[in-house]
Amino acid sequence: MSFDVQPLDATFGAVVTGLKLAELDDAEFDALYQTWLEYALLVFPGQHLSNEDQVTFAKRFGTMEFDLSAITNVDKDGKVHHDRKEDWVKSIRGNMGWHTDSTYMPVQAKGAVFTAHVVPSIGGETGWADTQAAYEALDPAVQARIADLSAYHSLWYSQSKLDHKPKVGAAYGFHDMDPPLRPLVKVHPETGRKCLTIGRHAHNIPGLTQAESDALLDDLVAFTVQAPRVYHHSWTPGDAVVWDNRRLMHQACPWDMHERRIMYHSRIAGDEASEFAGSDDAAPRYVSA
């Protein structure tokens, strides 16, 4: 390989240096893609990608769910949002819970490219957790218990815990469709390894009581986010990462929201053949009136 790969001190992830993401040739990208499948999270220090370069790089991984979204507490007029009562801030706070992107959509995302432009002086890290390693470390009795279980996934559900109930269509994910029902255990379509599909959007496992469902999902998340299955990245402006959304959960970490944090997210669409999940008439609804 024409680049250097230094594994993180975790079950996944690596820091990659010795290349410029905006200038990769096809052979370099092919090697990088295989490295990504192996490690699930690649960290690229000091890339300083433009928005255009970020989208171009992300598109090499597949079609896009959306090209670019600012993940920030700063609006277009430069105002810094920090009031916990604002829907804007509630959305940011929601991202601080462990989750997998777009499990609340019919087709779950494949992955994402994320870049840091402005970071706070303290806090604001991003964490990832390895659901493949978590599944493989589960007691066989737990593996057997969850083998045929599924959970509904809803952004309405997860954000309702923060009293965030916008109008339908007010933001991405706040749609009026029934929530998809996703198996707790899925097979990664490219590696063939089993992973958990859990996180804050998951709820109401059919066949269990509400209390049983909540307890099981909470236990699986708590187990997953234990060392060595977790890594938190302290950002430096110019850093870029790409992660495999089919294997990893992630979260933002708190910071003093009087300080600016400006990040950009490009979401890679999942393959419908492996990432689609339907719903049913029994699906619970949390949509605002």
Contact by Cβ (8 Å): 65, 268: yes
Q: Quick one: 229 exposed, middle or buried, by C-beta within 10 A (0-12, 13-18, 19+)?
A: buried
Contact by Cβ (8 Å): 36, 9: no
SS (H, E, C) 225-259: CCCCCEEEECCCCCCEEEEECCCEEEEECCECCCC
What's the CA gap between 82 and 149, in Å, rounded?
Answer: 39
What's the CA gap between 261 and 211, in Å, rounded?
Answer: 37
Contact by Cβ (8 Å): 151, 184: yes
What's the CA gap between 231 and 113, in Å, rounded?
Answer: 17
Tell me the pTM.
Answer: 0.96
In order of start, what are the domains of the chain with their CATH numbers?
Answer: 4-271 (3.60.130.10)
What's the CA gap between 6 and 139, in Å, rounded?
Answer: 30
Tell me the one-letter amino acid at 37.
Answer: L
In the numeric block, which tokens belong to residue 183?
Answer: 């198996």
Identify the pLDDT of residue 65. Answer: 98
Instruction: Return the closest-CA partner of residue 263 out of 281, 237, 233.
Output: 237
Instruction: Return the closest-CA partner of residue 154 out of 99, 225, 219, 93.
Output: 99
Collect all residues with Cβ–Cβ distance below 8 Å to 217 and sequence separation of at least 6. Answer: 151, 198, 202, 203, 205
Identify the pLDDT of residue 170. Answer: 86
Cβ atoms within 10 A of the Cβ of 6, count?
A: 10
In the numeric block, which tokens belong to residue 244?
Answer: 């495999």
In the numeric block, which tokens belong to residue 1?
Answer: 């390989």
Instruction: Return the closest-CA partner of residue 272 out of 201, 196, 205, 180.
Output: 180
Identify the pLDDT of residue 287. Answer: 87
Q: How many residues does the chain have?
A: 289
Identify the pLDDT of residue 289. Answer: 57
Identify the pLDDT of residue 281. Answer: 86
Which residues of the chain register pLDDT less than 50? none
| Alpha-carbon distance values, 220 to 135, 215, 226 (Å) | 9, 9, 11
Identify the pLDDT of residue 169. Answer: 87
Helix ranges (DSSP H) in 154-248: 155-160, 210-224
